């Protein structure tokens, strides 16, 4: 694939509530930062804009109506993907790869605090005839999956709790994170059961925020950016939307998305070549399940590695140094962009007190949440070949 780079990042938030700004004002702040970072004027230099959102998260039908103004996209090519931010990133990268677009912007945001009935809305993603009449809280779907995953992989509750402890502790070093905390494994284990085996502290809380990324082709990136983060590979996939015919133990969507991204990036041995990753941890067990699906360790190994500290910032495979969704806060459709944001900051050496030493290849992965089996993967490097020359 011809090279595509991320040359600008901007964010606003992330906070549990943002009553002082409208969603437009929240996004505008992130956009202004991203354009200043990239050194572009959106009214002149951007060829196309991609946004991600879901109508029911906004409380507005055909929400794409309201996306252009705050990103500088009025009267320009703008379209919306109903997907995670990483799907939006893929859409933007594809546009650049056609050769007809040089600079493309991706936006995602969350105003989760404005949704008063989020569990009811999530339940509306279940099949209206087969599943919804059962009136189960959609978290039960995560409980079912956690149960089967732990059964097949041998993962324990203590290992899941270790993910929570690590990620919320990591978040203490991320000034943008909303849920930094110094917890003990015991705190997690004794928190109340919500959808057994899932306990309260294993479930990420939502935060408000917006993230804007600026992408460019190689020539433009070379001209504008001293520190481009190259998208070496990107992939996305769905398993079955049906609860009746999916794998309950494996994150098949992540396996397939990773295979697509690795193929594009020329990565044969991800456990060797990926130095750090930001993966979906909407629920604690998802981080472990995803690490295994991504081929970063074998089935059943993610839990022990976490307890041993291998996935801590000073371990051999740092995972969710940002704090992940458990520590940063779950940002709805922007969650995947939050994972990318951290990878870019780390690759640029701009991650402040949580900066990892000497990293050149990182991975970002997203999942669209219950009840979906939908996710995406991106492999990023600060060197075009992957390894520092």
Partner 1 sequence: MTQRIASYPGTTLSEEQIEQGRVLSVHDRLRADYTWDAGLAIGLYLDGLKAGVILGVRCARCDRTVVPPRAFCEQCFAPMDAFVPLADVGIVNTFSLCYVTWDVKRIAEPLIPAVIDLDGTSPPAGIMHLLGGIAPDRVHIGMRVRAVWKPARARQGAITDIRYFKPHRRG
Partner 2 sequence: MSMRRVAVVGAGMTRFVRRAMETPKELAWHAARMALDSCGLTLKDVGGVCIGSAPDAFDGVHMKGEYLSDGSGAWGKPVMRSYVGGGTGVFLGPHGWYHVASGLFDVVLVVAEEKMSSFHPHAQAAFLTIFDHTTERPLEPNLLWIFALEMNRYMQTYGISKRDIAQVAVKNKRNAADHPCAMLGEASITVEDVLNSEVLAWPVQRLDVSPVSDGAVAIVMAAEGVAERITDRPVWVQGVGWNLDTAYWTNRDLAYPEYVERAARMAYEMAGVREPRKEIHIVEPYDPFDYKELHHLEGLLLADRGKAPELTAQGVTGRGGAMPVCPSGGLLGVGNPIAAAGLMKVAELFWQLRGEAGARQVPGTPERGLAQAWGDLMQVGTVTILGTQRPA
User: Binding mask 84-103 vs partner 2 (x if CB under 8 A, - otherwise)?
Assistant: ---x--xx-xxx-xxxx---
Smallest distance from the beta carbon of 99 to partner 2, in angstroms?
5
Residue 76 is a binding residue for partner 2 (CB under 8 A): yes
Q: Indicate which of partner 2, partner 1, none lies near residue 238 (CB less than 5 to 8 Å, by partner kind).
A: partner 2
Identified binder of partner 2 from the candidate list 81, 115, 164, 331, rule CB under 8 A:
81
Asked if residue 59 binds partner 2 (CB under 8 A), the reply is: yes
Which of the choices partner 1, partner 2, none does residue 25 contact, using the CB cut-off of 5 to 8 A by kind? partner 1
CA–CA distance, 145 with 151 (Å, rounded to integer): 10
78-109 burial string, b = 16+ CB within 10 Å, else e? bebbebbbbbbbbbbbebbeeeebbbbbbbbb
Contact 13, 26 (CB under 8 A): yes
> Of these partners, partner 2, partner 1, none, which one is at the site of residue 190 (CB under 5 to 8 Å by kind)?
none
Q: Which residues contact 191 (CB under 8 A, 6 or more apart)?
A: 199, 200, 201, 202
Query: If DSSP codes are grouped into helix, strand and coil, which group holds residue 175?
Result: coil
Count of Cβ atoms closer than 10 Å to residue 276 Cβ:
23
Binding-site size for partner 2 (CB under 8 A) equals 59
Query: Alpha-carbon distance 26 to 67, whole Å?
Result: 12
Binding of residue 166 to partner 1 (CB under 8 A): no
* Smaller CB separation from partner 2, 91 or 198: 91
Q: How far is 322 from 325, CA to CA, in rounded Å?
A: 9
Among 16, 47, 77, 121, binds partner 1 (CB under 8 A): 121
- Binding partner 1 (rule: CB under 8 A), the pick from 74, 190, 193, 271 is 74
Residue with tokens 């044969």: 268
Question: To the nearest whole angstrom, how small is the minimum distance from the Cβ of residue 109 to partner 1?
Answer: 12
Selected from 120, 184, 223, 263, the binder of partner 1 by CB under 8 A is 120
With CA atoms as reference, report the closest residue to 189 among 155, 153, 162, 150.
162
Residues forming the site for partner 2 (CB under 8 A): 1-2, 54-56, 59-62, 64-69, 73-83, 87, 90-91, 93-95, 97-100, 121-122, 124-125, 127-129, 235-242, 252, 256-257, 260, 264, 368, 372, 374
């Amino acid at each position: 694939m011809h090279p595509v780079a991320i040359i600008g990042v901007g964010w606003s938030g992330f906070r549990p509530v943002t009553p002082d700004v409208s969603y437009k004002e929240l996004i505008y702040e992130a956009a202004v930062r991203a354009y200043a970072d990239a050194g572009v004027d959106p009214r002149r230099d951007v060829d196309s804009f991609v946004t991600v959102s879901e109508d029911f998260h906004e409380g507005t039908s055909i929400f794409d109506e309201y996306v252009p103004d705050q990103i500088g996209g009025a009267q320009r090519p703008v379209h919306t993907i109903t997907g995670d931010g990483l799907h939006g990133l893929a859409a933007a990268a594809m546009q650049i790869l056609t050769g007809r677009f040089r600079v493309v912007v991706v936006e995602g945001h969350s105003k989760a605090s404005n949704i008063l009935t989020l569990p009811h809305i999530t339940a509306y993603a279940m099949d209206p005839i087969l599943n919804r009449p059962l009136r189960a809280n959609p978290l039960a779907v995560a409980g079912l999956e956690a149960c089967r995953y732990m059964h097949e992989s041998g993962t324990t509750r203590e290992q899941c709790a270790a993910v929570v402890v690590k990620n919320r502790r990591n978040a203490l070093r991320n000034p943008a994170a909303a849920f930094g905390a110094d917890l003990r494994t015991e705190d997690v284990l004794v928190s109340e059961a919500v959808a057994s085996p899932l306990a309260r502290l294993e479930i990420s809380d939502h935060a408000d925020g917006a993230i804007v990324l600026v992408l460019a082709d190689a020539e433009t990136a070379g001209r504008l950016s001293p520190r481009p983060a190259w998208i070496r590979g990107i992939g996305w996939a769905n398993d079955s939307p049906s609860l009746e015919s999916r794998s309950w133990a494996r994150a098949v969507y992540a396996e397939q998305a990773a295979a697509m991204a690795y193929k594009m990036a020329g990565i044969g041995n991800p456990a060797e070549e990926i130095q750090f990753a930001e993966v979906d941890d909407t629920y604690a067990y998802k981080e472990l399940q995803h690490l295994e699906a991504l081929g970063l360790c074998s089935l059943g190994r993610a839990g022990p590695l976490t307890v041993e500290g291998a996935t801590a910032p000073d371990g051999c495979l740092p995972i969710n140094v940002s704090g992940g969704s458990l520590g940063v806060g779950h940002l709805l459709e922007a969650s995947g962009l939050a994972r990318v944001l951290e990878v870019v900051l780390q690759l640029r050496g701009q991650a402040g007190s949580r900066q990892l030493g000497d990293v050149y290849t990182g991975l970002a992965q997203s999942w669209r949440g219950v009840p979906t089996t939908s996710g995406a993967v991106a492999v990023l490097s600060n060197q075009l070949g992957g390894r520092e020359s």
